[in-house]
Structures are given as structure tokens and as C-alpha cells.
Chain A
């Protein structure tokens, strides 16, 4: 058993932004919220999936909505605990631990805040292994845990309990409620026992976000190559294969809105040893990367657009002409690459024609 404390939060936020693969929202505000809770209540116990008791009630908590809203309408802060409490009332039982449903972006930080305030542990794992745009895109859902009942709460403590026949309907209804709540809500969902969590969660992802942030920080401190440090670091984890897909200058970003998502393309022109052009298509998160028309990486593998100097992640909404970027591709754990998983968050789930091919096979 280990803990996550104030001293880990900067690393965690830096790592969470990278696992966000362009989406998930800037972890800055979530990091400040978690820091505030840890200053008041101390560090949070991090339970590995193995350490989580079979019969422990584990509930996923986080935020839903548009990052652009969250950066303006700062959360109430108590609303995340209220969401947990609303679901607990529905279930007639209190949570023994919370778990992130998303490891990338802001939602990796919220469970830490809730755990600190409630004095319960957080389980080291999540349901996405990265960031995804919709709530059914969860290994929890893939491997049979119902998303419902789900609690959706606003800053007044107004709450909605959603019961629905599948996770996609839960997502659809919750999205509508979230808009009525001003574009951001606090949610609690995917209640499960510890034995189930061990079977369905992507393991170790909270610890991983801290590690990713730490690799970058330490490489900078010792003036080592930050990208080498990331590649070496991932090699020792269950994410395993990380490689630089491309490096260059952003020459074009086009965006449009489709089905409520920021859909678009980024074009990068090679610098240094990199020739030609890389094209990245995104839908909130980066989905697919082509180098001169040749597939180099595709969802659910991670495609991370990072600042070439600092290796800080650049979210899709912050992509701008002229930025010097390096694209890092990372393979995801096997639990995210089964045919059941690919049905839910593989290329076809995003309307892509291309079939999934593992990044390590694309050279």
C-alpha cells in the first residue's frame, strides 16, 4: 500500500495530461482541488487492485462536461462528494473506496479529492486507461459492469439518478442533464465490488500518471532527453511500447463541431531528421496518426502531441499554428485491445474506416 500526497500532485497532473491524449481537460483545476483537500485531510491511500478486498464497494467518481466550461465555471468542490453520497443513498450502502473512471486529464484528480475528504482509499486503476469522450467507453462497461445507477449532481446539490438499460443510454441521458446543469456536472457511477474491479479495471493507472510526470521532471532536472526518459519509463510498465512517431512544426489545425464533439485535423511538418508530414485526426482526443499517408498509430493506442522542448502535453483545443511538437505513440495494455474492448472504443466506435493495428506492428 502506498499513498499519494501533495508532493505527488504536480507529477500526477503532468502525467494525466499526457494520458489525456489531447482531451480530458487541463488537470490544472482538478490538481488545485485535490491539493486543497489534501492540505485539509492529508494524503490518500492508494490501493492496488490486488489489495482491494473482494467485497469492498468501489464507486467511480469524476466530472462530466466541457473543459471549456470548467475553466470558467470553477466547480463548487463539494459536488463530487455529493454525487458519491447521492449514489450511496440509492444503493443503501457506503463506498469503501473510489476509483477514477478516466486516467487522463482532470478526472484522474477528482477521486483523490473525494477520497481525501471521505477518508477512504482510492483504487489504483481506471476504466479508460487514458481519456475518452463518452461514459460507455469504459473497460468497466466492456467487461459487464452496469454504468447505472448513476448520480449526476450540480453545484446546488441538485441530483438526478439515472437508471437505463445500457451504458450508452446512461451516457446519452447524463449528457442532457449535464447541459441543463450548465455544461459541467459531478458524477458517480459503475458501482462494483473489489473482485469485479480487479477483473475489469485497467490496473495501476493512477500510479502510472504520477510516474509519467516524474520521468519528465527528473529528466529535465538532470538534463537528460525527456523523450528517451518517457520511452524507457513506459517500457517497464504494462503500457510497454512507446516511441516517437514524429517531430516537427504544426502547420495547420482545422476544427469543426460534429455530434457535440470538437472534430478536426492537425498537420505537422517535419523538422530535423523528420521528412514529409504527419496528419493527426482528433475527436476531443487524438484518434489516428498518418505519416505521409502511412498509418502510424490508431485509437485506443495513445497518440500524445507534446511540446518538443518540455514534453508537456498540448490539448487539442490549445493546438496552434507554429508550435514545435513531438508526437509520442504508446501501446495500451491488453485489457484494452480485446475484440470486446475494440467494439466499444476501437476505431469503428469513432466512425473510422481503418481497423485497429497495434502500434508495435506499425513501423
Chain B
């Protein structure tokens, strides 16, 4: 059996799963020390599910710790941003476009060194080791203990980053190193940004991983644990200690993956209806479709894989106006239990409509008995139209797809939607993200520029697929379950046809000993 945990800012959710079946689940407030909340959640689901510590084969954790640390500018290390690329790249130094408060928190330690590669694998310049060693002396003098290494076109050739890491490790004892080719893809500034953010989280990563280990140790769970990353795949604890930045935005991904399992659908739309807003996303091969625009985290531009999610103003607390023809976008939010009619308040909300229509039994039904049938009908029609439009906007073809409803607000939906082939309201929908963490797979990705000259397109694609699959297996996937889930080719514009950027992602089920 495995356990999935989602440590959010508000709640810590846990589920115990036997294969793909939910044995028990628990939702409790997140505690300030985190590990107490995790232990409570673990203990409860194991007791209720009748599982002993030895029955647990793996624990998967989704966490917002690292995102929050960057957003709040707290618990961050000063970082040496080491860039290999001179004489190119001099025009825009590291952290050039960062919010100044975050740059200052990290100390603005910038070191530009000769090195880097061209798109076709040639060197821009040989790695200048003397320059790098001089930079290291400066780091030691300034007491900088974390370094981010980013080399031009390292997704094509990572050799210089690896060599620079050896040198820095020699010269700066105990330094925590982050290498850009392990973190990001083509797109230098965004990859460098992510690498620098990763480096500043090194201490926090060690602490958080230790607190997870302590929580499991206290409960005598000896199973390995994993942490979910932004693309819905898992990382080992050792990997998270090195690459905490990859946990950014894992929440929405887990929620959508959890919905996919609960509804047993791989191609579907997911609508997560909360108290104030709803999120719609699309599942392709059981994974969320990714956003194609640059994503800012804490004011810093990155190119992480993030689910493409559309938020719109419909939730269980949305305010109903104009005889039901206008709903939201404002909501009574967490004050629902004071301000909604069914709770004795004076604001007409979508929850009141659901109660009046007999879709839900919440609060005091007599308080909504006066609502006219016409108003109720109009409001219900409006809500369904809002969801239908949002689903339709996010779909990639006119073909109807199953729509999975999760979240507390899913009680509002009672009818078919023109955009949906069917409506699925699964059990356990309120802990979909913990379930998503529990079932996460492991993945491998290749994203680099291939020179097709001589190699040929088919061979280049085959090579990219093999590399991605090997990376997935290296990350812990069972080889027979590994499959390529995404291929994207972008020829380099304004250059002869030999150069093409190829992105391949492969995923597989986690190898488990028990």
C-alpha cells in the first residue's frame, strides 16, 4: 500500500491507497512545524485503513514549501550565480530582471566565465579554469555556500557544467551546487533563473527532507518516500535535496492527476470548483496539458512546465444577482457559513441555489423556501453555462470529452454540459491532490537542439526517445512501463534545415520493492 500526502498552506491531506483504490483518507489543518501535521495525517489514515507501518511500500508527498519560501523571500541562501558563456551573454548579467528585494536576498554574487557551447555543439570558448578558480576564491572570501552553474547550450552539451562543478567543489569546501542542465531547458535566462532559485533553497531543502524523514521515522515507516514535481512525476528524497525548485507548482498537477484516477479517464477535462473560483484544465494521456507561456514565480521569469489552467469566478460562495442571470465573480469566500441565506445570512449565494433546488442539504433549507422557481432555474442555467464555456475554451477540439468535477463546489453541477460527453463526479474528490501525489509516476525528459545533418530526422527522434526513456528508468521507473508521452519538434527558424529543437518526455510506473 502507498500513502499520498498533500501539504498545502491551509490543509494537510493524506490518503492510503491499495493499488488504485482509496482505503482511507484524512484532512487536517497544516501545523506550523509541518511534521506534526504529517504525522497526524499518516497515523489517522493508517489506523482507519488498518495498515501497519510494514504494509507501506512508498510515501509520496506534494508540498508548497519551496514555492512559498521564494514568494515570501524567507529562509533563502546567498547564491553565487556562475555563468559559462563569455564572451557571449555579457549583455545581460545573471538576475538582470529580478525583483530587487529577491536579488538582494541572494546577494547578487555574479561570476561570468569564458566557456559555453554553440547550438551545434561547438565551443564558444574553452572553459577558463583560472577565471573560475578566481571566482571561487571570491566566494570563499564572501562566505557564499551555494552556487548555480549555467552554461550556454548546456542542454546540448553538459560537459562544461560538470567540469565547473568539480572545480567549485574542490575550491569551495561544502558548497551546495545546482547545475542548470539538470533543471531547465533551452531558454538561457529562464533556465539560469530556475537554477539560481534552486541554489538558494539548498538549506531549506535539506531541512524539509529531514523533517519528512523524521515524521516517517517516528511512525516506523521504513518505506522510501518521494516528492512530486511540477510535471506530475516523482523525485526521490535525495533528488529533492538537490533540486527543490522542481517542486514548484506541483499542486494543480496532482489535483488533476488525482481526478484522472478517480474518474478512470486519461483524456478528459477537469473542473475543480472551490469556494471562490474554479479551475479548468485538460488531461492528455492522463497528464495535464502544459502552459506555453513564460511563468513568473515570485516575480522571476521561468520556463517550468506548468499545467495550463483557466480560472473563472464560480464557486460555492459566489454571489447571485439579477434574478440568477449574473453570478460572481465575487464570493463570500470563507464567510459562507455566516453570510449565505441557508446559514442565516443575507447574501444569496450559489450554495443557497443548490440547497433550494434540492441538490444539496446544507444549513437550513427553510431559509431559501421563498426563492422563486424562475430564479432558481435561471441561476442553475447560468452556472452550467459558465462551466460549459470555460470547458469549451480549454478544449483542443470540438469533440466532447468527459468532464470530471472535483472540489467542494461540485455540488452546484447537476446537469449535462453540451461540451461534455459525460459528467463524472468521483468519490473522494476533496482529496484529489493527495491521491494525485500517491499515484505519481516517474519521468525523464530530453529537450535540446539536434543537428539533423548526417543524423537524419528519424534517427534524431529515436535518439531523443531513447534518452528520455533512459532518464525515466534512471529516475526509478520500471522499464516495461516506460512510454513516451510527449514529442515536440521546433525547427530553428532563419537557419538551414539541419537544426531542430526536439522535446521528448517519457514516464513510467515507480519500481516498488513491496
Contacts and interface: CB of A to CB of B under 8 A. Distances in A.
Interface of A: 23, 29, 32-33, 36, 64-69, 71-78, 133, 155-157, 179, 182-183, 249, 251, 255-262, 269, 271, 284, 316-318, 320-324
5 contacts: A36-B96, A73-B119, A77-B92, A183-B120, A322-B394
Contacts of B495: 65-66, 69, 179, 183, 260
Contacts of B120: 183
Nearest to B497: A257
Given A65-B494, A78-B90, A317-B490, A72 B396 contact: no
B97 interface: yes
Contact of B494 (A72, A155, A260, A324): A260
B29 to A, nearest CB: 36
Interface of B: 85, 87-92, 96-97, 116, 118-120, 122, 124, 152-153, 186-189, 282, 289, 292-293, 308, 392-398, 449, 489-497, 499-501
B160 to A, nearest CB: 14
B152 A262 contact: no
Nearest to B490: A317
B89 A74 contact: yes
Contacts of B494: 64-67, 133, 260-261, 284
Contacts of B97: 32
Contacts of A183: 118-120, 492, 495, 499
Nearest to B189: A74
B88 A322 contact: no
B289 to A, nearest CB: 7
B493 A67 contact: yes
Given A256-B491, A322-B394, A68 B501 contact: yes
Nearest to A256: B491
A157 B397 CA distance: 50
Given A66-B119, A68-B119, A155-B88, 4 more contacts: A64-B494, A65-B495, A68-B186, A77-B91
Given A72-B119, A251-B397, A262-B493, A257 B500 contact: yes
Contacts of B392: 271
Given A182-B124, A322-B282, A322-B395, A71 B496 contact: no
A33 B289 contact: no
Contact of B92 (A74, A255, A284): A74
A65 B152 CA distance: 17
A23 B397 CA distance: 26
- Top 6 A-B pairs, shortest CB-CB distance: A77-B91, A257-B491, A74-B89, A182-B118, A257-B497, A155-B88
A61 to B, nearest CB: 14
A76 B397 CA distance: 44
Contacts of B282: 322
Given A261-B494, A318-B292, A324 B393 contact: yes
Contacts of B501: 68
B396 A321 contact: yes
A28 B291 CA distance: 19
A23 to B, nearest CB: 7
Contacts of B497: 257-260
A73 B186 CA distance: 10
Nearest to B501: A68
A322 B396 contact: yes
Contacts of B85: 73-74
Contacts of B293: 318
A182 B492 CA distance: 12
Nearest to A272: B389
A249 B394 CA distance: 9
A19 B293 CA distance: 19
Contacts of B394: 322
B92 A66 contact: no
Nearest to A69: B119
A272 to B, nearest CB: 10
Contacts of A67: 493-494
A21 B355 CA distance: 51
